[in-house]
Homo-oligomer: A and B are copies of this chain.
Amino acid sequence: MSKTSIFSAIPKLDYEEKAETINKEEFIKTIKSRRSIRSFTSEKVEEKDMMECLELALLAPTSSNLQCWEFYWVKDPSKKEQLKKYCLGQPAASTAQELVVCVARTDTWKENAKQIVSNFENSERKVPKAVLSYYRKIVPLAYNQGVFGLFGVFKRFILYFRGIKKVTPREPTSNSDMRVWAHKTTALACENLMLSLRAYGYDSCPMEGMDSKRIKALLNLPSGAEICMVISAGKRASNGVYGKRLRLKSEKFIKMV
């Protein structure tokens, strides 16, 4: 919603972060060699590596920086066995060394916005008023959908009429939009996690074929939390890749207009 007023101009900031030069071949290798692995060896994932990969996941961009994600690294042996079952016993889960449940939170934005403001207030660098007011005023307006989503309906109504003549942001104005919003940001971090595992010498498989209801109960998650995907990790077995990567022709998906 209306980021217009605040973000139409760059606030004066005394900060610069230079772009690093990357050896792009190493990066391309990472993306190209990441495959969804269906069978892992018995080799362990180093605890330190796993933690570093999870930390790298959190560096993905996040919508309004509201960090609506959570990553449950399931280590308890009995919970891990349960989780494998809840992933329908598929080999990508049952042979995995580690399993991470990636959770999208539609319900933590308010608390996180507060913490962000408090971080800004305690920061040595001066944060522009416009940014503070974005988190204090715009964020609650934008992400709150009200009881039964009624405030969302109201917003949709207002934005519809505003939008007849003016360029107008349209989402999120429903609980469905909030789900999309939270899953989208969480997926950005999931991709970071899978690529990081690859760069660290491991492999992964993202799984959506699972019993989300049982997994939520296992992790004691509230209703505003949704399972985005479960990511398994380990070293690929020789029969871990089903076959050559199959993508339909890229002209189908990349369109120049």
Contact = CB atoms under 8 A, between A and B. Distances in A.
B184 A239 contact: no
Interface string A24-62: 101111111111101100000000000100111011110
Copies in the complex: 2
Interface residues of A, number: 126
A32 B59 contact: yes
A26 B72 CA distance: 27
B26 A33 contact: no
Nearest to A211: B167
A176 interface: yes
B187 A88 contact: no
Given A167-B85, A257-B219, A241 B59 contact: no
A177 to B, nearest CB: 8
Contacts of A86: 167
Contact of A28 (B7, B116, B199, B203): B199
